[in-house]
Structure 1
Amino acid sequence: MTDTPGRRVVAGTRLGLALPQYGALADPAAVARFATAAEDLGFGSLWVGDRILTPREPSDLYPGGGTPEQPYPKEFETFADPFTTLATAAAVTRTARLGMSALTGPVYSPVLLARALTSLDLASSGRLDVGFGLGWLREEYFATGVPWEGRGKRLDAVLDALEALWTGDPVAHEGPQWRIAPSTVGLRPAQDPRPPVLLGGFSPPALARIGRRADGWLAGWMPKQHLDGLWSVALEAAEKAGRDPGTLRRVVRINPRAGTGVESAGDVLRCLDVAGELGVSEALVDLHYVAKDVDHALELAAELAA
């Protein structure tokens, strides 16, 4: 069923879809075709992720099930640029929101980020949802010249600088990592005062940050007691910060994958039933681990939409 024309809703939860960006689906030339078809099927949002490096001997195992033999999903070895992917989707869609789940925020310069994100928001006529996380792989920090230590504080500094760049006139910002001299920035987001900012994370400090300063949580699929327990941390932090907890969004990512118990369209729909019971209004379905190619991904997406 749909809540408004062109927006697919299942069990009270609006459905989004990951764009073909990595693994066997990493085909930048197919993004436009996929995005158009997904929107026509009724998916209300289209999403990208962020992977910068896949070292042969990483310091950290992928928290979603990495092992010493397979430290991260093999699909991560081929990963298209998130900004190019979203820009392509923006050019061929009309109503679907465009989101990031999620950029590794601390490794980016906020001045360059603001320029790219504002351009994307304008190109999509105000359909951008900005998503940040801390990431889990320290080699990505080393490769981009950013310290691994203090990454949480650095993410806060990125958010502070972005807020200044999006809303200041003239713009000026003094922080621990960057000094932005008083400057004229004529490029402003289409959304007023800025695009929504969603944050990932699975620890109490991460959820507290969401409650204090973000517009919502980019959550992964997990047992409902954990999903609800962590969410309560964000709601409490929002109240303490004088914010309305009822305005916070929850976007739950569902990755169908062999051996996880979520392997088919039916399994995804059962997850959506649980999400609806918990009051989760948005879900992102990522088909990269079960689709053989872009055409297969579209077949699976049509099954979900049906």
Structure 2
Amino acid sequence: MQVGLSLPQFGPTATREHVLRCAQAADAAGFDSLWAADHVVVPREFRSPYPYAADGINSTIYPPDVMLEALSLLTFVAGATERIRLGTSVLVLPMRQPVLLAKVLATLDHLSGGRLTLGVGVGWCEEEFEVLDLPYDRRGRRTDEALQLLRAFWSQDWVDFEGEFYRVDGWTCRPRPAGPIPFWFGGDTRPQMERTVRFGDGWMAAPRSPLEKTLRDRERLREIAERAGRDPASITVHAGGAGFLVPGELGRLAEELHRLAEAGVEHTTVRADPEHIDRTPELIAQFGAEHLPALKA
């Protein structure tokens, strides 16, 4: 199993110094990846229910807390680390202009030495789309076109593309990524699973889902892949938000990760505990020394 760390991105933990300490500690301790979530703005009150919580509330966002922008954050830690991969969990693709995004992502991958994994979602917060003057009800189709454009700009010398939302007539965009950027798709809806099968290298289970639900969703993904003629084993399965790095509880966290690995989950993430900011780099190092070798075996 591969284990990543969710970067300290929200609230009082999202300081320059703490981000650097955590990213460099994870890089040195043998963690496989660093992850950042994507929201641009937060409303005073949410109208849209959060689809991955029973009460419809996203408990990770407390406006008006600090909320670091995902790609800026990953670019920042790319320059302070050496080998650890960098990922979005997830980037809300239909909120981004795809030609500009192709340039930004390719530059990040190029300068980081090919370390980027692009986790993609279609978004759930309708009011965030409204403030960005973007249509919410057509975000799936916009995502599909954006994915095609990204891959075109990263593989073709000159791009000609005409779709429902975007048109490009004879343009190029450099640099290219250092290597193919893996696409992982987050979400448990059928359209997102079908998108995973068509475009993806990995699938990201709904955040903090019980293992039983993740396994049921994985079976749904396998059935969709088999019907489409794709080998389900070619799609990496990620279950995020496995737990927090808490003093005295690292062994229990490792047991939970072993349970995920035994169930066939190939990648997961853990989080720093905001109640123990000063000890987070120490806990990252301790978990890396005491538990990561067995998880990777």
TM-score category (smaller protein): 0.7 to 0.9
Q: Which residue matches 2:92?
A: 104
Measure, in 2, the Cα distance between the counterparts of 1:110 and 1:294: 36
Given candidates 269, 285, 288, the residue that maps to 1:302 is 285
Report if aligned partners of 1:251, 1:282 keep a CA contact under 8 Å in 2. Answer: yes
Q: Which residue matches 2:194?
A: 208
Report if aligned partners of 2:36, 2:87 keep a CA contact under 8 Å in 1. Answer: yes
Report if aligned partners of 1:210, 1:216 keep a CA contact under 8 Å in 2. Answer: yes
- Deviation of residue 270 (structure 1)? 3.0
Residues 1-306 of structure 1: pairs in structure 2 closer than 5 A: 13-65=1-53, 72-75=59-62, 77-191=65-179, 194-219=180-205, 220-254=207-241, 256=243, 264-287=249-272, 290-292=273-275, 294-305=277-288, 306=290
Secondary structure (helix, strand or coil) at the match of 2:178 reads coil
1:18 partner letter: S
Report if aligned partners of 2:22, 2:284 keep a CA contact under 8 Å in 1. Answer: no
RMSD: 2.2
- Deviation of residue 44 (structure 1)? 1.1
CA shift digits 1:39-70 (9 cap, x unpaired): 111111111111222211221133344758x6
1:196 partner letter: P
1:212 partner letter: R
- Deviation of residue 97 (structure 1)? 0.8
Secondary structure (helix, strand or coil) at the match of 1:198 reads strand
Report if aligned partners of 1:211, 1:236 keep a CA contact under 8 Å in 2. Answer: no
Unaligned 5+ segments in structure 2 are 291-297
Measure, in 1, the Cα distance between the counterparts of 2:285 and 2:108: 27
Q: Which residue matches 1:8?
A: none
Normalising by structure 1, report the TM-score: 0.85
- Deviation of residue 200 (structure 1)? 0.3
Report if aligned partners of 1:60, 1:71 keep a CA contact under 8 Å in 2. Answer: no
- Deviation of residue 71 (structure 1)? 6.1
- Deviation of residue 29 (structure 1)? 4.3
Residue identity over aligned pairs, in percent, reads: 34
Measure, in 1, the Cα distance between the counterparts of 2:58 and 2:77: 31
Report if aligned partners of 1:208, 1:233 keep a CA contact under 8 Å in 2. Answer: no
Measure, in 1, the Cα distance between the counterparts of 2:61 and 2:154: 37
Deviates more, 1:113-122 or 1:198-207: 198-207
Measure, in 1, the Cα distance between the counterparts of 2:55 and 2:225: 36
- Deviation of residue 293 (structure 1)? 6.2
Secondary structure (helix, strand or coil) at the match of 1:130 reads strand
Q: Which residue matches 2:293?
A: none
- Deviation of residue 217 (structure 1)? 0.8
Secondary structure (helix, strand or coil) at the match of 2:106 reads helix
1:178 partner letter: Y
- Deviation of residue 268 (structure 1)? 2.6
CA shift digits 1:119-162 (9 cap, x unpaired): 01111111110111122211111111111102222211211111
Secondary structure (helix, strand or coil) at the match of 1:153 reads helix
Q: Which residue matches 1:4?
A: none
Secondary structure (helix, strand or coil) at the match of 2:274 reads coil
2:280 partner letter: A
Deviates more, 1:140-149 or 1:265-274: 265-274
Sort the Cα spacing of 1:223 and 1:153 in 2 relative to 1 into closer, same or farther, 3 A: same
Unaligned 5+ segments in structure 1 are 1-12, 258-262
CA shift digits 1:81-101 (9 cap, x unpaired): 111211121112221111110
Measure, in 1, the Cα distance between the counterparts of 2:255 and 2:211: 12
Sort the Cα spacing of 1:291 and 1:72 in 2 relative to 1 into closer, same or farther, 3 A: closer
- Deviation of residue 264 (structure 1)? 4.4
